[in-house]
């Protein structure tokens, strides 16, 4: 069988992006949507390629790894980008409204192309094994997100979101670089493997400095994954950004953040003295994130904002998993949770966009009576919300089950207790959407909801996957690293 | 094995029925067919079930998460068959008495069938993971049923019940994970048979905290005092079929689970009746835990009992009475000897039927009058004599009058509990107060509970059916149609099994909860 070099995947994605940019410049009059279809096709081809990946050349292994985890998240990023493009096609009319140009469709092209570059960044991130590499790929992701968040330039909310994201993103970048510097200063290494080899010999006196560096990196990654107390940018950015970008941000960016977190913490957790302190810090982060995300989500009335808070809450559950790294089942639990989170979040956004487009807003009240106006969409949203809440027979429940199992194995009883109480909170705010859809009557003048076949297909696929994996996870568990 | 497991059919019939209804077939007809079919299958299961055998029958297993010992394992022993009969019977009755609502009729019937499938799935599961998951299947249908088609302050009731139950079930989940983790590494499993095997072999270390988690988790689901406040409100607001299914079938899940799991894996060291399985936890903690349970269940019987007396509306009164009766079953579980557990199992069945009949009747009454306030009712025996007769039967069955199966259950529970406990349990400074141990004191309180339930049931009966008849109720229609058939059936079953409790006790004796 022909094997493809692992590096070729990212290169191919970048080539797809450049090709689309060129196409956008040369075929000015073409329907911009064809760019998105082209992107989807290109990424699907790359996705197929991931199944024929050969080993990494020996001289790259210092900064680039292609283990199962990395490969899994590359597929994750590719599928996430494809779904984002599906969402973008659905959302294009809204973007067009907010970027009035001289010609129809002007300025729309990059909206479909930028996610492809973000995808390349995410894929690099999944494979990075060196702080410099991590930093570069992270910046590729973040900078392309700055543009996407602020894309609707005549929309004040989008601009506000972009500014907030830019400032806080830059701040977290600062933390990251500063932390890397301290770690480099103490170990003389930037590659994770080098660090893990040197770490055992770091004198006891320098451990505080080392911990300081790790702490700063933790802060920076805390921003990326939206962990409390570094979460305050999330609600505004999520609400203001174009909805497909919100979805991408909440899934892609978060997943990449967790992969990097697990990779970066790996060497440090191997040292018992550092491990105890790091796990304590992670536990505090997880507990705060759980409490903040869930409590703050409860009074929300805007669905996008609610999903923003819910993404903080889910970061909390994921952090519980990361804090339980001592347990042999924790890594798989985190990955499985991310997989479930991916499915249910994208499904929620896939329903949100057509409904918001038809009703003119993304408040929960705009979903009133959806159960009778669009039973299919309402059923999909029901599945998504129940899975987010963690109801059995959905993938969301299994994710929580694995996380709690790992945490109890590590005897993080306080975290588990917080987790259980916050799950109950979650039932409240996710069921608020269910209530709107099924209890409340629809307004009399409700316009019909139009859904494109592509969106319908994607939503059906995701809903089916949520249930299938939730009921019979065995084949999927075997796919996990 | 190529043959399809009959238990799987029992689970699938309501699910397929619900799917058909959601696709668009006639809601009521489909639901009735599914419920009747399932009743038939459940009765056939009873006929096929070998009562001489010990242990689970109809076992089939499909691994789902092999690395954690989770498999979709179905199987039924005598206790499961009893509960499956109850579930099928109450489902059929609930669908029969249901009134097709004006809006979203298909969701209404589909939700009922989902609740039924959840209960049946839980009772037919050996694997604790699926046992748990199936129970949760009912959560959202209940939320929708109360929230959309309920009465009174239905939104508050739906929220409260749903969040309470979600919290309780996640506490229960932690308990199950705990039960998984205290097993020796490498042998961990969710298969109940294997767990009991480990407990028999003495391989389970002390699991007091697991037991406590299970007790609280199941306790919330069963409305154990003081976690009971969701239940009366939810049942008062729920449409009658939903209340029937939830109070009659689903709530039994918690006690069934306690008897099945906690009863076999953590039997009570302090019982001096026939101990079921050796004990994996410390004597003094076991003692304090069983004392705690006794206090709580007496709270269920006496405190909730008096609260029930003070109710002014029939639906609330029935809701509280269903909470109160859980106390007896808890007593049977707490004593954990052959008599008391047999009695508790009988009561699971008896209470399920009697409360279903009562909720069905109160739903019918609400349909006719629009109110269930005792102050506005009265004299109904004149326009609706048959209704009054049926209500009387159902009320007497709930009190536990001899002749009804509830009496057999209560009697066994009381006898069993009175001999429960070791002789010095609850002694202060080596001396027992009143010459009685705590189990005996609790039993005496429970017997007083029978008087309490007689008081409120008879008072309700008098207020509704006797006294002067308000003119506006003069033309009330008599109970008729499928509702009448359903309620008569429930009462006949209670009477037959009340005179011949041996029918059911033989089933329970063949259950695999005995060592």
Token output for A324: 């339980």
* Residue A316 pLDDT level (bands cut at 50, 70, 90): very high
> Distance, in angstroms, between B86 CA and closest chain A CA?
24
Residue A181 has pLDDT above 80, yes or no: yes
- pTM metric for this prediction: 0.89
CB pairs under 8 A between A and B: 80
* Residue B30 pLDDT level (bands cut at 50, 70, 90): confident
* Maximum Cα interatomic distance, chain B, rounded to a whole number of Å: 73
The DSSP letter of residue B65 is E
* Residue B426 pLDDT level (bands cut at 50, 70, 90): low
> Distance, in angstroms, between B130 CA and closest chain A CA?
9
Residue A358 has pLDDT above 70, yes or no: yes
Residue A347 has pLDDT above 90, yes or no: yes
Token output for A434: 């269910």
With left for phi above 0 and alpha for psi between -120 and 50, is residue B378 left, alpha or beta?
left
With left for phi above 0 and alpha for psi between -120 and 50, is residue A294 left, alpha or beta?
alpha
Measured distance CA(B261)–CA(A72) in Å, rounded: 39
CA angle (A153 as vertex; A151, A159 as ends), nearest 5: 80
| Cβ atoms within 10 Å, residue A22 | 10
Q: For position B282, what pLDDT does the model report?
A: 40
Measured distance CA(A198)–CA(A270) in Å, rounded: 12
Q: For position A121, what pLDDT does the model report?
A: 92
Given a contact cutoff of 8 angstroms between Cβ atoms, the answer to whether A284 and A291 are in contact is no
Per DSSP, the residues of A348-395 read: HHHHHHHHHHHHT--BGGGGTTHHHH-HHHHHHHHHHHHHHHT-TTSH
ipTM computed for the complex? 0.85
Higher pLDDT, B104 or A295: A295
Residues B467-472 have a mean pLDDT of 82
With left for phi above 0 and alpha for psi between -120 and 50, is residue A393 left, alpha or beta?
left
Q: For position A56, what pLDDT does the model report?
A: 67
- Write the CB contacts of B192 (distance below 8 Å, at least 6 apart in sequence): B126, B127, B128, B131, B260, B261, B264
Token output for B28: 């009521």
Preceding omega of A229 cis (within 30 degrees of 0):
yes
Instruction: Collapse the DSSP code of B31 into the 3-class scheme (helix H, G, I; strand E, B; otherwise coil) and give the result.
Output: helix
A364-399 pLDDT, tens digit per residue, is: 888 888 888 888 888 899 999 999 998 888 898 999
The DSSP letter of residue B60 is E
Residue of B nearest to A383 (CA): B140
Residue of A nearest to B213 (CA): A417
Q: For position B268, what pLDDT does the model report?
A: 46
Higher pLDDT, B206 or A293: A293
3-state secondary structure B471-506: HHHCCCCCCCHHHHHHHHHHHHHHHHHHHCCHHHHH
Backbone CA torsion sign across B267, B273, B276, B277: positive
Given a contact cutoff of 8 angstroms between Cβ atoms, the answer to whether A237 and A323 are in contact is no
Every domain of chain A and the residues it spans: 278-481
Given a contact cutoff of 8 angstroms between Cβ atoms, the answer to whether B411 and B504 are in contact is no
Among the listed residues B156, B148, B117, the one whose alpha carbon sits nearest the alpha carbon of residue B133: B117
Given a contact cutoff of 8 angstroms between Cβ atoms, the answer to whether A278 and A311 are in contact is no
Contact: B166, A439; criterion CB under 8 Å = no
A14 touches chain B (CB under 8 A): no
Whole-number average pLDDT of chain A: 87
Per DSSP, the residues of A33-77 read: HHHHHHHHHHHHHHHHHGGGB-PPPGGGTTTB---HHHHHHHHHH
Q: Which residues, numbered 379 to 398 in chain A, qualify as contacts with chain B under a Cβ-Cβ cut-off of 8 Å?
A: 382, 386, 389-393, 397
- Write the CB contacts of B319 (distance below 8 Å, at least 6 apart in sequence): B231, B232, B233, B234, B235, B236, B243, B247
The DSSP letter of residue B102 is S
Q: For position A104, what pLDDT does the model report?
A: 63
Every domain of chain B and the residues it spans: 6-509
- H/E stretch holding B245 reads helix B240-245
Instruction: Collapse the DSSP code of B154 into the 3-class scheme (helix H, G, I; strand E, B; otherwise coil) and give the result.
Output: helix
Residues B316-321 have a mean pLDDT of 91
Residues B104-125 have a mean pLDDT of 89
B181 touches chain A (CB under 8 A): yes
B239-258 pLDDT, tens digit per residue, is: 888 999 988 888 888 888 88
Whole-number average pLDDT of chain B: 83
Q: Which residues, numbered 252 to 271 in chain B, qualify as contacts with chain A under a Cβ-Cβ cut-off of 8 Å?
A: none
Residues B417-422 have a mean pLDDT of 73
Measured distance CA(A340)–CA(A342) in Å, rounded: 5
For chain B, state the CA radius of gyration: 22
Distance of CA A299 to the CA centre of its chain: 24
Measured distance CA(B345)–CA(B342) in Å, rounded: 5
* Maximum Cα interatomic distance, chain A, rounded to a whole number of Å: 73
Measured distance CA(B475)–CA(A366) in Å, rounded: 45
Residue of B nearest to A478 (CA): B65
Lowest mean pLDDT among A372-381, B2-11, B266-275: B266-275
* Residue B270 pLDDT level (bands cut at 50, 70, 90): very low
Q: Where are the alpha helices (DSSP H) in B125-207?
A: 128-136, 139-149, 154-181, 192-200
A438 touches chain B (CB under 8 A): yes
* Residue B320 pLDDT level (bands cut at 50, 70, 90): very high
Residues B55-78 have a mean pLDDT of 84
Q: For position A14, what pLDDT does the model report?
A: 92
Q: A278-282: long-range contacts at Cβ-Cβ below 8 A with a sequence spacing of 24 or more?
A: A278/A211, A278/A214, A278/A218, A279/A323, A279/A325, A279/A326, A281/A215, A281/A218, A282/A218, A282/A319, A282/A322, A282/A323
Token output for A157: 């909310």
Given a contact cutoff of 8 angstroms between Cβ atoms, the answer to whether A368 and A442 are in contact is yes
- H/E stretch holding B58 reads strand B57-65
B279-296 pLDDT, tens digit per residue, is: 334 445 556 677 788 888
Residue A82 has pLDDT above 90, yes or no: yes
Could you say which of A427, A439, A477 has the minimum Cβ distance to residue B162?
A427
Measured distance CA(A329)–CA(A320) in Å, rounded: 12
Contact: B162, A420; criterion CB under 8 Å = no
- Write the CB contacts of B102 (distance below 8 Å, at least 6 apart in sequence): none
Cβ-based contacts of A433 with chain B (< 8 Å): none
Lowest mean pLDDT among A121-135, B179-193, B255-269: B255-269
Residue A222 has pLDDT above 70, yes or no: yes
Cα–Cα separations (whole angstroms), residue A217 to A141, A256, A388: 17, 15, 29
Cβ-based contacts of A472 with chain B (< 8 Å): 64
| Cβ atoms within 10 Å, residue A160 | 16
Among the listed residues A223, A218, A216, the one whose alpha carbon sits nearest the alpha carbon of residue A237: A223
Preceding omega of B226 cis (within 30 degrees of 0):
yes
């Amino acid at each position: 069988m022909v094997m493809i070099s692992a590096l070729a995947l990212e290169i191919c994605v970048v080539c797809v992006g450049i090709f689309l940019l060129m196409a956008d410049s040369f075929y000015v009059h073409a329907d911009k949507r064809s760019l998105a279809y082209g992107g989807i096709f290109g990424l699907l081809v790359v996705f197929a390629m991931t199944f024929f990946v050969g080993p990494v050349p020996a001289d790259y292994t210092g900064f680039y790894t292609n283990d199962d985890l990395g490969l899994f998240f590359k597929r994750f990023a590719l599928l996430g980008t494809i779904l984002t493009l599906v969402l973008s096609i659905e959302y294009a009319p809204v973007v067009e409204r907010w970027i009035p140009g001289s010609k129809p469709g002007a300025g729309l092209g990059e909206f479909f192309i930028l996610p492809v570059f973000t995808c390349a960044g995410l894929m690099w991130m999944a494979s990075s094994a060196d702080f410099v590499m991590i930093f570069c790929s992270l910046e590729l992701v973040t900078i392309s997100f700055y543009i996407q968040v602020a894309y609707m330039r005549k929309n004040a909310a989008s601009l506000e979101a972009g500014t907030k994201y830019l400032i806080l993103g830059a701040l977290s970048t600062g933390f990251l670089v500063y932390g890397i510097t301290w770690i480099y200063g103490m170990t003389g290494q930037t590659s994770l493997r080098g660090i893990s080899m040197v770490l055992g010999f770091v004198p006891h006196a320098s451990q505080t400095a080392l911990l300081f560096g790790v702490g700063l990196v933790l802060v920076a990654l805390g921003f990326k994954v939206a962990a409390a107390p570094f979460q305050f940018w999330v609600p505004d950015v999520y609400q203001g950004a174009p909805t497909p970008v919100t979805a991408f941000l909440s899934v892609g960016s978060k997943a990449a953040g967790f992969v990097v977190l697990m990779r970066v913490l790996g060497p440090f957790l191997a040292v018992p003295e550092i491990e105890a302190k790091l796990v304590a810090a992670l536990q505090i982060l997880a507990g705060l994130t759980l409490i903040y995300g869930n409590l703050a989500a409860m009074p929300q009335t805007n669905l996008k904002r609610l999903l923003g808070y819910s993404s903080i809450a889910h970061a909390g559950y994921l952090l519980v998993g990361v804090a339980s790294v001592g347990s042999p089942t924790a890594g798989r639990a985190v990955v499985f949770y991310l997989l479930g989170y991916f499915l249910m979040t994208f499904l929620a956004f896939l329903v949100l966009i057509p409904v918001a487009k038809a009703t003119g807003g993304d408040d929960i009240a705009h979903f009133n009576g959806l159960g009778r106006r669009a039973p299919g969409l309402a059923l999909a949203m029901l599945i998504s919300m129940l899975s987010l809440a963690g109801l059995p027979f959905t993938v969301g429940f299994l994710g929580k089950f694995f996380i709690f199992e790992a945490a109890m194995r590590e005897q993080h009883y306080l975290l588990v207790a917080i987790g259980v109480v916050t799950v109950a909170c979650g039932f409240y705010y996710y069921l608020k959407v269910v209530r709107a859809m099924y209890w409340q009557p629809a307004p009399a003048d409700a316009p019909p909801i139009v859904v494109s076949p592509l969106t319908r297909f994607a939503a059906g696929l995701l809903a089916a996957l949520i249930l299938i994996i939730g009921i019979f996870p065995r084949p999927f568990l075997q796919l996990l690293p | 094995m190529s043959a399809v497991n009959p238990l799987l059919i029992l689970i699938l019939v309501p699910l397929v029925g619900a799917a058909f209804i959601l696709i668009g077939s006639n809601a009521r007809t489909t639901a009735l067919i599914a419920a009747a079919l399932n009743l038939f299958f459940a009765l056939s299961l009873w006929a096929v079930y070998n009562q001489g055998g010990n242990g689970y029958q109809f076992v089939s297993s499909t691994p789902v998460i092999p690395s954690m010992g989770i498999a979709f394992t179905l199987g039924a022993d005598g206790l499961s068959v009893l509960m499956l009969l109850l579930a099928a019977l109450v489902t059929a009755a609930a669908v029969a008495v249901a009134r097709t609502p004006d809006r979203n009729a298909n969701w209404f019937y589909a939700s009922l069938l989902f609740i039924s499938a959840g209960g049946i799935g839980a009772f037919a599961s050996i694997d604790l993971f699926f046992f748990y998951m199936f129970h949760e299947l009912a959560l959202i249908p209940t939320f929708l049923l109360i929230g959309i088609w309920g009465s009174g302050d239905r939104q508050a009731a739906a929220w409260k019940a749903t969040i309470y139950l979600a919290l309780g079930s996640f506490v229960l989940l932690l308990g199950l994970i705990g039960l998984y983790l205290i097993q020796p590494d490498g042998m961990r499993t969710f298969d109940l048979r294997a767990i009991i095997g480990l407990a028999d072999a003495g391989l389970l270390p002390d699991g007091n905290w697991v037991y406590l988690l299970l007790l609280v988790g199941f306790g919330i689901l069963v409305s154990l005092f003081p976690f009971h406040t969701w239940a009366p409100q939810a049942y008062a607001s729920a449409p009658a079929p939903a209340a029937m299914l939830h109070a009659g079938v689903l709530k039994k899940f918690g006690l069934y689970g306690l008897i099945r799991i906690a009863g076999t894996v953590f039997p009570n060291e302090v019982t001096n009746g026939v101990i079921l399985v050796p004990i994996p936890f410390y004597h003094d903690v076991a003692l304090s835990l069983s004392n705690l349970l006794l206090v709580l269940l007496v709270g269920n019987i006496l405190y909730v009992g008096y609260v029930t007396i003070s109710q002014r509306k029939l639906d609330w009164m029935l809701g509280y009475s269903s909470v109160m009766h859980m106390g007896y079953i808890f007593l049977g579980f707490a004593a954990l000897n052959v008599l008391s557990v047999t009695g508790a199992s009988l009561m699971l069945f008896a209470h399920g039927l009697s409360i279903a009949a009562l909720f069905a009747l109160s739903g019918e009454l609400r349909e006719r009058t629009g109110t269930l306030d005792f102050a506005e009712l009265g004299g109904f025996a004149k326009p609706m004599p048959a209704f009054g007769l049926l209500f009387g039967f159902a009320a007497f069955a709930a009190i536990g009058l001899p002749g009804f199966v509830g009496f057999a259950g209560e009697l066994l529970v009381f006898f069993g509990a009175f001999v429960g406990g070791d002789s010095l349990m609850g002694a202060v400074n080596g001396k027992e107060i009143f010459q009685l141990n705590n189990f005996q004191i609790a039993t005496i309180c429970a017997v007083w509970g029978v008087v309490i339930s007689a008081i409120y049931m008879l008072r309700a009966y008098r207020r509704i059916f006797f006294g002067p008849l308000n003119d506006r109720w003069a033309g009330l229609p008599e109970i008729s149609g499928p509702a009448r058939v359903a309620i008569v059936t429930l009462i006949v079953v209670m009477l037959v099994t009340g005179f011949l409790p041996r029918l059911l006790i033989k089933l329970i004796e063949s259950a695999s909860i005995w060592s």
